Amino acid sequence: MPAREPRCAAAAHYWHPVGTCALGSDPAAGVGVDGTGRVHGSDNLWVIDASIMPVIPRATTNLPVVALAEHLVRTLA
């Protein structure tokens, strides 16, 4: 096996966690936020990031998170 080039050996994987915050309407079932990202049991606290995405995108999460944030922020206005 050939030796790795220095630039490849220094490369690191960066994991984008997705779907780590359960989304739903029943806090008794263990869900963290409702469909608008509002945290159950808290006032004026929303989660608007990749953690509330129910499906992992096949590509980078940047654009889907921006679209999700823009959509949910419009519901707050």
Mean pLDDT by 10 residues, the chain (77 residues): 60 72 91 92 91 86 91 88
- Please confirm, yes or no, whether 16 is among the known catalytic residues: yes
What pLDDT was estimated at residue 34?
92
42 in a structural domain: yes
DSSP 52: G
Question: CB neighbours of 28 closer than 8 A, spacing ≥ 6?
Answer: none
5 in a structural domain: no
- Domains held by the chain: number: 1
9 in a structural domain: no
3 in a structural domain: no
Q: What value does the mean pLDDT of the chain take?
A: 84
What pLDDT was estimated at residue 33?
94
Considering the entire predicted model, what is its pTM? 0.68
Q: Is 68 exposed, middle or buried (0-12, 13-18, 19+ CB in 10 A)?
A: middle
The catalytic position among 13, 16, 40, 71 is: 16
What pLDDT was estimated at residue 59?
81
Domain range spanning residue 59? 16-76
